[in-house]
Amino acid sequence: MKQKLKWMLTPLLVFCISFSYAQEKRVSGTVTDQTGMPLPGVTVLIVGTSTGTQTDFDGNYSINASSGEQLRFSYIGQKTVTMTVGASNTMDVQMSEDAEALAEVVVLGYRTSTKEKSSIASQTIASETIENRPNANALQTLSGQVAGLNILASTGQPGAPPAVNIRGQASINGNTEPLYIIDDVPTDAGVFRTLNPNDIASVSVLKDAGATAIYGNRGANGVILIKTRQGNFNEGLKISYAGLLGVSSLQGNDYDLMSSPEQLRLENDRGRGRGAGLSDSEIASAETTDWADYFFSSSLAQNHTVTMTSGADGISQFTSFGYSNIDGILKNSDLQRFNIRNNINGKSKNEKLTYGVSLGINFARSNEPNNIGGSGINRNPILGAYQSVPYISPDDYVDGASLLSPLSFANTPLFLIDVQENLFRREDELQLLGSFNVNYELAKGLNAKVVMSADYRDETRTQAEGPLSFNALLFAQGKDPSGTQNQDVIRQFSYNQTTSLNYNTEFGKNTLNIGAYVEYFKAHFQTFGYTQEGLNPLTFAPGDGSAFIGDNPDNDFYVDSVRANLLDAGLFSYFTSVDYDYDGIYGLSGTLRRDASYRFADSNRWGTFYSLSGRINFHNMAFMDGSVFNQLKLRGSYGTTGNQYITLDGTPGVYFDGPDLTKDLYSTSSGYGAANALVLSQIGNNELTWETTAQANIGLDFEVFSSRLRGSFDVYQRTTTDLFLDTPISAINAQTNLSRNTGELVNRGIEFNVNYDVLRGGEDGFNLTVNAVGGLNEQEIIDLPTEDGIIDIAGAPLGYREGGRVLEYYTYRYAGVNPENGNLQFLTADGEVTENPNVDTDRVWLESNIFPEFQGSFGFNADYKGFFVTTQFNYALGVDRFDFDLAGFQNPNNIGQFGSTRDLLRAWTPENTITDIPALDAANFALGGNSTRYLTSADFLRLRFAQIGYNFPQRLLNGTGLSNLKLFFNGENILTFSEWRGFDPEVNNPTDVTQFRLYPTPKTYSFGIQVGF
Amino acid sequence: MKNTKYLLICMALAFFGCDDAIEIDQPGRLDAGSAFQTVSDLNLGLLGLYNEFDTTPEIQFNAVFTDELAVGFDSGGQGIGNGEYGFILNPNSAAPIAAWVNYNDAINVANRILEASENIAPEGDYNDILGQTYALRAFAYFQLISYFSPDYSDDSALATILYDFVPTPDQELPRSTNGEVFALINDDLDRAEDLLTVQSDATFVSQDFVTALRARMAAYRGNYAQAGTFASELLDKYPLANREQFKNMFLDEDNTEIIFKLERTINDDYDGQGSTGSGFAGGWAGANFAFVNATIEGSPYFEIGRSLFNLMEEEDVRYEVNLEPTSIVSPDYTNSDDFQNEDILIVGKYPGNEKPLLNDLKVFRIAEMLFINAESLVDAGDLTGAAELIKELRDARYGTPQPLPSYANSQEAFNDILNERRIELAFEGHRWKDLKRLGATAGQSIQRDPLDCAINDACSLDPTDYRFTMPIPIVELSANPNIQQNPGY
């Protein structure tokens, strides 16, 4: 106690003395961040004067100051520290992260820089825009927030990853997902299902080659760096709680579906289905079921996160516990998640040794209906929700057995009710993400560092189709009892280690930072699974084996199948980085990386990737003094990156897909009469290599009018060569495709990111900032391996051609209804109207595809005395999609089996000749399906997010024991403007873009509270 | 300083420990170079070769593209779209892709076995394995000709790509002529005859398989003298089934008439639904016609075409076999209020044996040999001889003596044989090829019942139409600049 008192009194004492004997002296010290790492570029200013300096690369500074004067240490992204000069000539300062300003820190690969000094194209999102959102998957939340970061939901299943790419698809068959690095752990999009978004401190999106080339053979699709939260040294225990309660519901549609009387009347007119045999009064009194309302319902979501941070002298920690329970709007789809995270940072007394541990333990359990998007009327519940006839009622369902006879397509909703009752499909996933880093200062400016990280996932998938379910009985195939249960256990472990030496030096106005790195990566994959045929209904319980029926000598119905798979993957790389700065004005950086991949061990083992980038800070040049510009920086970069994930099988994941494509292989498998056999399984390609993306980027960062207007513009061109494409080979080879590195593809685009402070009222005034983000991306296929420069996807109305874009629509054009006879009309390739197009030769390239050309967001943030409002409008333009759901509703052949739209009421008749709906018995109706008839724009503008809330001011909290309290109300997907008539213009299956009957994303309203103790 | 040492050691380890990350042999792989070491490996390869053969796509195509089928009351769109039921056939169609790819796969696999056999000492079943391999390669070549050659009887017409070696992916070979491919087939069959040790076997290649293939090939080529000889050779050995045996044959419980069939069983590669309504097929044979089982409750999406059904008489055992018993036959279908639901003619030929819809695939039956013999007699001018053979078959099928047909001329005779084939070999993958080679001579074309084709107006197609030769599929066209497309496509 005595000791403490002394330290508290000293400053006062010193202040008094210094009043009398003001003496200037040299004060020096080291500035470090909260993890103990030296902070270069910190501005040190004597308060009330214009005297100042900056820390060097080692975080050291020295300045002439008098005792009693105050030194202000400021650094972007850190809380400003003010200290009074005392008796000591040494003043070391540890700064702590300023969450609000964190966006200003620029994370380079394997190293950091400042916004001022970096020469790369990147954008960082701070925790505020990620936390407290009801999206189970943090990636969903990022949608629209970063220019060039394209995020499209592929399903409404809670937690499911959306499709993500940065600056367009740079690959056709290979991976287009960016590399994700969470606290030094390289991983993939799969982790976000289990990750607690509230643990995220910041997300940095690295876009140009200057930023990504240092990731070499993993950086071709850009890099997303995620930092989780940390504690601060010398800070008392802080506890906070964040809770969110949300309600989700189905977004609306404009299909204008018929009611039961309308549907039955139509059936009656057409002589098909139940309506054919009903009287007028029976038709008029039929009850209508809204099947979308039955299969989808409002669902609840709750998230709770408790965090505790504290720090002592040489150690700080962050601990959080999270729990989420999110029900999907589709019945039987949900996600339950537990998260524990513990991050520790420490340092030695002399601060030469610093270390950090980051550990996340995540467990997620989700029920996930399958066959979404499929056409099985007994499998895909979405089909039941959308296409069922309205006159059947859920009350008509008794059990699976009673649906067997008569088997009728009109009973689709009842089959699917049975699926909901009897299909059990659960995924349990345990994930451990951990990293450990240690840094030691060998000599002044020379640091050695080791970072070790591991990503472990253990997933159990259980699927059981009960013995009394309709599907089990339907496909019993003689089995009595029937029923199937599958279980698969998938384990994946990956380890990454980076060892580096880093040297900083300063001479005159020059600063130089040189790094040398070695990286090792190894991953292992293991699955085991079985399919059990035959489950005894007396003891059946999903996931349990009590009900298993054994094989018998009479038949082979109950022979089970088992499967197991082992795969290994690895990479080894060494690389170097050089960063040079002259006087805060000119900067140059370079990286060079050599990579070896196990995948190309027999062909092109080593690849070399590099980048060069530079910048000029005009605002630091003398001639700019007094201008309106607070910042004006011109950046440029050029470099190459590789993509070794050149093929995607889907099951094992990117690390392991196509592990030995260079080899000719045979396999032992089931042959004729189910006997053992030896068959050719793969023809190797001994020229296999990386897909290489070269990217040029020019960017401008600016801040004007006292930084009221801030933003950046970027222009880029990404050229991918050696695209790994299915090259057709003659069928005499026993396969018709061999994947080779042959094609070339270019993505070019413009991005902007602008913020403007309309009102700056300060803490007690009215603050209003408007922002806009946008990215325009244009795609051009330069070279394809086929003779004619076209890859035709058999049976699909799309393909690839030189000069075109990825998955460009390629089909014959629909030209409306012939007023003469109600038939469909089309255009020939030459543009002439015909009723009988040649489905092969009349196809034309339509210069459109499903991927947006221009997308982003705009919105505003406003606050006044603790009240705040945030909005985010997302937009996507240049999206074209087939609306095959609509095709189903408008299909006259479906009458009697499925529901129809009221559009059919205006079908062509001899009396109604000018219409957009063909005659219900148009002779050439079948040709419509694959034509452009159902190709429509799915451009949209959506109020993606809005939040309104109140942050209690300190004075109201005094005496309550609370340090902060915030209440807020959120809405997600509140309003959508689109020509698209379906439930959700955004959700599509990126691997099959013509797929329909998909699970839409919901509209969600939630209420949240954040409280600190 | 101590810490520094440790760090340096760590870094050194990182450098030296790299090979295990990039020198990885995946577990469970068998390198192609070391796959075949012994005769028993060759036998495993042969079982893989058999597995390449699947006639379900042909059963599908020959039924859907002709007048064997109609769209069923429980169609979920099968046959309604732009498919073969609308006589739409182009390089993107499934059926030519399936035929071209599957049989070329088989030839490639056969060539690999033959190549590997050169380094293996001939002992044990060596000869018989090679004999089966040659015969199967010959069969694959013949099947390719039968779908892709514009004219079987013209030796200078284009056939398929000829290769008796293991090709490399850079090879872009043109099609050879029928004459050249028939020569290879004959060589292969000669070699097979020398090597094969088994005379008859219902589910494996034997001497009888070779003879049957020779007979069919000669008939297709119009070489009727030869065809008759080969067919007679087999007719002497295999009796016609009686009615009970005939019914059991399609339950896979009787092999009286079977010269060769492809065995299908639980847990084999084809034990599953396959592509329903598509020329790729590839699962249970019966799934070409129904989703669940071959009864009215099994969701039969295709039904027997009325024009075929009208040819059959109730007393004929083939009526019982072709028409599944739960079918609903409208007494006056042309005046039915609801033709679709009041006239349900379910295909009964693949009810399934071990499982519903799972049946062996009949490739050569003695009845076909009888027809070949009859054709050769007509060709030789012996119309009565031909009529007697047809009567013999009908007597067996009806179980009672039937009147002797009388043919005024050879066209009439061919027409009657073609009709009889249509009934006898329905849904066994023959109709399209029979119309192609005999339709013009017999004055017969695809003729669907007007009610069956009301859905798409695709009611008839002349056998001289270009669509009686399959197009070279898109997969080959885009890979091989030297390939020649068939006329009309």
> How close is the nearest chain B Cα to the Cα of A433, in Å?
21
Q: Report the alpha-carbon distance of residue A891 to residue A903 in Å, rounded.
A: 10
Which A-chain residues 845-904 have CB contacts (< 8 A) with chain B? 893, 897
Residue in this structure with the two tokens 């080979």, named with its chain if needed:
A729
> Is residue A394 scored above 50 in pLDDT?
yes
Look up residue A163 and give its amino acid.
Answer: A
pLDDT higher at B8 or B449:
B449
pLDDT higher at A686 or B403:
B403
List pLDDT tens digits, range B94-112.
999 999 999 999 999 999 9
| Mutation for B interface: A732, A741, A811, A894, most B CBs within 10 A | A732
> Is residue B290 scored above 60 in pLDDT?
yes
Chain B touched by A376 (CB under 8 Å): no
Same-domain status, A109 and A224: yes
Which A-chain residues 653-712 have CB contacts (< 8 A) with chain B? 659-660, 663-680, 683
Residue in this structure with the two tokens 């740079």, named with its chain if needed:
A170
Query: CB burial class (10 A; 0-12, 13-18, 19+) of residue B236?
Result: exposed
Would you put residue A36 in left (φ > 0), alpha (ψ -120 to 50) or beta?
Answer: left
Residue ranges of domains in chain B, CATH in brackets: 40-258+366-477 (1.25.40.390), 287-342 (no CATH)
Q: Report the alpha-carbon distance of residue A560 to residue A545 in Å, rounded.
A: 13
Q: Which chain B residue's Cα is nearest to A727?
A: B479
pLDDT higher at B278 or B258:
B258
What is the predicted pLDDT for the residue at B6? 59
What is the predicted pLDDT for the residue at A737? 85
| Maximum Cα interatomic distance, chain A, rounded to a whole number of Å | 109
> How close is the nearest chain B Cα to the Cα of A929, in Å?
8
Same-domain status, A76 and A113: no
Q: Which chain A residue's Cα is nearest to B11?
A: A499
Is the Cβ pair A738, B169 closer than 8 Å? yes
pLDDT higher at A98 or B473:
B473
Chain B touched by A559 (CB under 8 Å): yes
Is the Cβ pair B267, A521 closer than 8 Å? no
Across A512-536, average pLDDT = 94
Is the Cβ pair A734, B86 closer than 8 Å? no
Length of chain A: 1013
What is the predicted pLDDT for the residue at B387? 97
> Is residue A13 scored above 50 in pLDDT?
no
Q: What is the CATH number of the domain that holds A91?
A: 2.60.40.10
Other C-beta atoms closer than 10 Å to the C-beta of B391 total: 15
Q: Report the alpha-carbon distance of residue A814 to residue A824 in Å, rounded.
A: 8
> Is residue A646 scored above 60 in pLDDT?
yes
Q: What is the 3-state secondary structure (H, E, C) of A741-778?
A: EEEEEEEEEEEEEEEEEEEECCCCCEEEEEEEEEEEEE
What is the predicted pLDDT for the residue at A654? 80
Query: Which tokens in the block code for residue A231?
Result: 């504690």
Taking CA atoms, A430 is separated from A159, A301, A486, A523, A893, in Å, by 14, 21, 19, 17, 47
List pLDDT tens digits, range A129-164.
888 888 888 898 898 889 999 988 888 899 888 889
Sign of the torsion formed by the C-alpha atoms of A839, A840, A844 and A849: positive
Same-domain status, A215 and A109: yes
C-alpha A870, offset from chain centre: 22
Q: Report the alpha-carbon distance of residue A165 to residue B191 in Å, rounded.
A: 59
Is the Cβ pair A676, B47 closer than 8 Å? yes
Q: Read off the pLDDT band of A10 (50, 70, 90).
A: very low
What is the predicted pLDDT for the residue at A175? 87
Residue in this structure with the two tokens 């590997």, named with its chain if needed:
B116
Would you put residue B86 in left (φ > 0), alpha (ψ -120 to 50) or beta?
Answer: alpha
Q: Read off the pLDDT band of A685 (50, 70, 90).
A: confident
> Is residue A748 scored above 90 in pLDDT?
yes
Which phi and psi angles does A187 have, rounded to 5°?
-150, -165
Across B177-194, average pLDDT = 98
DSSP per position, B266-281: TTSTT-S--BTTSTTB
> How close is the nearest chain B Cα to the Cα of A990, in Å?
23
> How close is the nearest chain A Cα to the Cα of B400, in Å?
36
What is the predicted pLDDT for the residue at B8? 58
Beta carbon pairs, A and B, within 8 Å: 255
> How close is the nearest chain B Cα to the Cα of A1001, in Å?
28
> How close is the nearest chain A Cα to the Cα of B356, in Å?
6
Taking CA atoms, A702 is separated from A10, A116, A629, B234, in Å, by 45, 11, 7, 91
Confirm whether A56 is domain-assigned.
yes
What is the predicted pLDDT for the residue at A834? 94
Confirm whether A138 is domain-assigned.
yes
In the sheet that A676-682 helps form, which strands lie side by side, from edge to edge? A676-682, A665-670, B30-31
Taking CA atoms, A810 is separated from A794, A801, A838, A914, B195, in Å, by 11, 10, 13, 28, 53
Across B275-287, average pLDDT = 92
Please report residues of A whose CB lies closer than 8 A to that of B109.
Answer: 679-680, 734
Per the CB < 8 A criterion, the answer to whether B155 and B179 are in contact is yes
Per the CB < 8 A criterion, the answer to whether B483 and B477 are in contact is yes
Is the Cβ pair B11, A448 closer than 8 Å? yes
User: Which of A184, A376, A395, A175 is closest to A287 using CA atoms?
Assistant: A395
Is the Cβ pair B50, A671 closer than 8 Å? yes
Q: Report the alpha-carbon distance of residue A625 to residue A938 in Å, rounded.
A: 49
What is the predicted pLDDT for the residue at A47? 78
Q: Report the alpha-carbon distance of residue B82 to residue B90 in Å, rounded.
A: 11
Of B88, B100, B169, the CB nearest to A729: B169
Q: Which chain A residue's Cα is nearest to B1?
A: A442
List the beta bridge partners of residue A239: A308
Residue in this structure with the two tokens 């035709």, named with its chain if needed:
A792
What is the predicted pLDDT for the residue at B477? 87
Q: Report the alpha-carbon distance of residue B287 to residue B305 in Å, rounded.
A: 17
Residues 6+ apart with CB under 8 A from B172: A730, B479, B480, B481, B482, B483
Confirm whether A34 is domain-assigned.
yes
Helices first, then strands: H and E counts in chain A? 11, 49
> Is residue B456 scored above 90 in pLDDT?
no
Same-domain status, A200 and A121: yes
User: Which of A74, A69, A23 is closest to A46 using CA atoms?
Assistant: A69
What is the predicted pLDDT for the residue at A17? 36
> How close is the nearest chain A Cα to the Cα of B192, in Å?
20
Confirm whether A108 is domain-assigned.
yes
Q: Which chain B residue's Cα is nearest to A930?
A: B82
Same-domain status, A20 and A116: no
What is the predicted pLDDT for the residue at A227? 92
pLDDT higher at A217 or B60:
B60
Q: What is the CATH number of the domain that holds A178?
A: 2.170.130.10
Across A247-263, average pLDDT = 94
Same-domain status, A91 and A179: no
> Is residue A3 scored above 60 in pLDDT?
no
Least-confidence region, from A113-122, B188-197, B262-271, B446-455 = A113-122
Is the Cβ pair B82, A733 closer than 8 Å? no
Look up residue A269 and give its amino acid.
Answer: D
Same-domain status, A174 and A144: yes
Is the Cβ pair B82, A926 closer than 8 Å? yes
> Is residue B143 scored above 90 in pLDDT?
yes
Q: What mean pLDDT is reported for chain A?
A: 89
Of B4, B90, B263, the CB nearest to A440: B4
Across A426-452, average pLDDT = 94
H or E segment to which residue B420 belongs: helix B410-424
Is the Cβ pair A734, B32 closer than 8 Å? no
Confirm whether A16 is domain-assigned.
yes
Is the Cβ pair A522, B20 closer than 8 Å? yes
Q: What is chain B's Cα-based Rg? A: 26
Cα angle for residues B337, B339, B342 (degrees, 5° grid):
90
> Is residue A639 scored above 80 in pLDDT?
yes
Query: CB burial class (10 A; 0-12, 13-18, 19+) of residue A897?
Result: buried
Q: Read off the pLDDT band of A4 (50, 70, 90).
A: very low
pLDDT higher at A971 or B339:
A971
At A291 the three-state DSSP class reads: helix
> Is residue B183 scored above 70 in pLDDT?
yes
Same-domain status, A78 and A131: no
Q: Report the alpha-carbon distance of residue B384 to residue A956 in Å, rounded.
A: 114
Same-domain status, A63 and A134: no
Look up residue A448 and give its amino acid.
Answer: A
Confirm whether A725 is domain-assigned.
no
Please report residues of A whose CB lies closer than 8 A to that of B87.
Answer: none
At A687 the three-state DSSP class reads: coil
What is the predicted pLDDT for the residue at A100? 44
Q: Read off the pLDDT band of B338 (50, 70, 90).
A: confident
Residue in this structure with the two tokens 């391999």, named with its chain if needed:
B133
> How close is the nearest chain B Cα to the Cα of A317, in Å?
24
C-alpha A240, offset from chain centre: 27
Q: Which chain A residue's Cα is nearest to B356?
A: A477
Query: Which tokens in the block code for residue A17?
Result: 């003395």
Q: What mean pLDDT is reported for chain B?
A: 93
What is the predicted pLDDT for the residue at B14? 52
Q: Report the alpha-carbon distance of residue B443 to residue B460 in Å, rounded.
A: 13
pLDDT higher at A641 or A75:
A641
Helix orientation angle between B56-64 and B94-117, rounded to the nearest 10 degrees: 150
Domain extent at residue A137: 103-228
> Is residue A958 scored above 50 in pLDDT?
yes
Is the Cβ pair A409, B74 closer than 8 Å? yes
Chain B touched by A84 (CB under 8 Å): no
Q: Read off the pLDDT band of A51 (50, 70, 90).
A: confident
User: What is the number of alpha carbons within 13 Å of residue A551 lying toward its C-beta?
Assistant: 8
List pLDDT tens digits, range B55-77.
999 999 999 999 999 999 888 77
Bridge-based pairing of strands A24-32 and A93-94 is parallel
Residues 6+ apart with CB under 8 A from A47: A69, A70, A71, A72, A82
Please report residues of B whose CB lies closer than 8 A to that of A474.
Answer: 292
Instruction: Tally the domains of chain A.
Output: 2
Confirm whether A649 is domain-assigned.
no
Q: Report the alpha-carbon distance of residue A585 to residue A620 in Å, rounded.
A: 6
Query: CB burial class (10 A; 0-12, 13-18, 19+) of residue A93?
Result: buried
What is the predicted pLDDT for the residue at B7? 55
Query: Which tokens in the block code for residue A572?
Result: 């080894």
Across A793-811, average pLDDT = 88
Per the CB < 8 A criterion, the answer to whether A912 and A919 are in contact is no
Across B184-213, average pLDDT = 97
Q: Which residue blocks in A242-279 are alpha helix, DSSP H?
A: 260-270
User: What is the number of alpha carbons within 13 Å of residue B350 lying toward its C-beta?
Assistant: 31
Q: Read off the pLDDT band of B441 (50, 70, 90).
A: very high
Is the Cβ pair A499, B14 closer than 8 Å? yes
3-state helix vs strand vs coil in chain B, percent to 5: 45, 10, 45
Same-domain status, A25 and A135: no
Q: Report the alpha-carbon distance of residue B293 to residue B273 in Å, rounded.
A: 11
What is the predicted pLDDT for the residue at B82? 54
Same-domain status, A145 and A76: no
Per the CB < 8 A criterion, the answer to whether A802 and A845 are in contact is no
List the beta bridge partners of residue A522: A495, A570
Is the Cβ pair B24, A569 closer than 8 Å? yes
Confirm whether A347 is domain-assigned.
no
Same-domain status, A186 and A91: no
> How close is the nearest chain A Cα to the Cα of B130, in Å?
15
Chain B touched by A605 (CB under 8 Å): yes
